[in-house]
Structure 1
Amino acid sequence: MVQRNPVLDFFSHLVLILGVLIVFFPIYVTFIGSTQTAQQILTSNPISLLPGNNFIESYRLALFGGKTEAGASIGAAAPMMMISLGSALIIAIGKIAISLLSAFAIVYFRFPLKNMVFWMIFVTLMLPVEVRIGPTYEVVSDLRMLNSMAGLTIPLIASATATFLFRQFFLTVPDELVEAARMDGAGPMRFFWDVLLPLSKTSIAALFVIQFIYGWNQYLWPLLVTTDESMYPIVMGIKRLIFGEVYIEWNVVMATAILAMLPPAIVVMLMQKWFVKGLVDTEK
């Protein structure tokens, strides 16, 4: 039986509250800045922590673009968010699908050099991104996939980490399930679809959250493979707002940053239960 200590409970809650405040305060300041005008942000020192009256105009400019009062041209964030959403979904679903199939083949099929194939996949984790990014860009360029959704997503959908995690999970599946499926006349893909996938749903959910956020936050790779503004993801859009104009509309920058945080936050909140269960659940 776990005994409760009021003093320890107080300090643990205090640490949690301080942690939440430290994480939440920059987001709060960003939101407050998005409700003010650029002039108010520049002239107030320090920045006001009370909401302004420019909420609608800031988010209208951030979403749909246009000209500001200072004459600055603002690009619309809505198309960039759709590019980010599409690429994040393709990367997340693609990584999970390929990793499931590769782990299934490694665990349940016999073929020459099976262990070597697995370790060849696993050793790619030791290669820094900088080592792989040059050759990958050359291949994408030779295949004429620059400035395309295929170029943004296909080079990123293979995942050694997800393959390793699914392999470890499949190794814990009881052999009795495999034998029962064979006795029922189920083929390999039937066993994969009817047995392994339902057992893997919590792991799939956890990996989907992680890979969605990974795909949404991509910056370096889109920076290399996109030169057409119509293919810019939202993260590059924020960079353009900061470095693209002489006069920076900080309220629009902050509104765009808030908009860019919403989809990953919504995914995490909607799938929080599955995400946590997929990381800690050991029941099969």
Structure 2
Amino acid sequence: MVQNRRWLTLLTHSVLVLGVLVIAFPIYLAFVASTHTLNDLVQSPMPLWPGGELAANYSKMIASGLGEASGFGRVSAGRMMLNSLIMAIGIAVGKIAISIIAAYAIVYFRFPFRMTAFWLIFFTLMLPVEVRIMPTYQVVAALNMLDSYWGLTIPLIASATATFMFRQ
């Protein structure tokens, strides 16, 4: 028998709305910070409503990008977006290609230790990113691929998650 418990529905929706607000607040705060000057932001308390500098701040960021104080020299916003696009496309295409081939081999070919290979791939899902950061950096540095698209893309192509999903 299904009963309509209005109080339970109200409680679950209230918890969900509260969760959305907790998650969305930092994003809203970042947007509000982007609409104020630096002097407004360092005052206590920080403003919680959007300011009047939205157009000026965004046009300045698009025109000049990161300034010299960033430590990276002058990098335009267009260049940063192009780098992100190249990385996203390269990683997505490479990850799909490698993972689908690995999943196909595990599912359709009969070879010794086939399931052992699958379980080794599966167990790598349990390795957190923090465990792999230093070894990955050392390999990329040893291959002289630092500061290149390849050095950022190749370590991220191999994906146990994608292989596992394609196998399913």
The interval holding the TM-score normalised by the smaller chain is: 0.7 to 0.9
| Counterparts in 2 of 1:133 and 1:50: CA distance versus 1, 3 Å | closer
Corresponding residue for residue 98 of structure 1 = 98
Identity %: 54
Aligned to 1:14: 14
* Root mean square deviation of aligned Cα: 2.7
TM-score (normalised: structure 2): 0.81
Query: How far apart in 1 are the matches of 2:55 and 2:83?
Result: 24
SS in structure 1 opposite 2:48?
coil
Structure 1: how far apart are the matches of 2:17 and 2:134?
44
- Deviation sequence 1:177-227 (CA, Å, 0-9, x none): xxxxxxxxxxxxxxxxxxxxxxxxxxxxxxxxxxxxxxxxxxxxxxxxxxx
- The residue correspondences of 1:209-220 to structure 2 (distance < 5 A) are none
Partner AA of 1:58 in structure 2: N
Q: CA deviation at 1:133?
A: 3.8
The TM-score normalised by the length of structure 1 is 0.51
5 Å-filtered alignment, 1:4-83, equals 4-43=4-43, 45-65=44-64, 75-83=75-83
Change (3 A) 1:98 1:72: closer
Read off the aligned partner of 2:77 and give its amino acid letter. Answer: A
CA distance in 2, matches of 1:59, 1:161: 37
Give the partner amino acid of 1:63.
I
How far, CA to CA, are the matches of 2:55 and 2:12 in structure 1?
40
Distance 1:120 1:34 in 2: 46
Corresponding residue number in structure 1 for 2:117:
117
Structure 1 unaligned residues grouped into runs of 5+: 170-284
Aligned length: 165
Q: Which amino acid aligns with 2:125?
A: L
String of CA shifts for 1:144-181, please: whole Å, max 9, x gaps: 322111111011100112212222x1xxxxxxxxxxxx
Structure 2 distance, partners of 1:104, 1:66, is: 44
Counterpart position of 2:84: 84
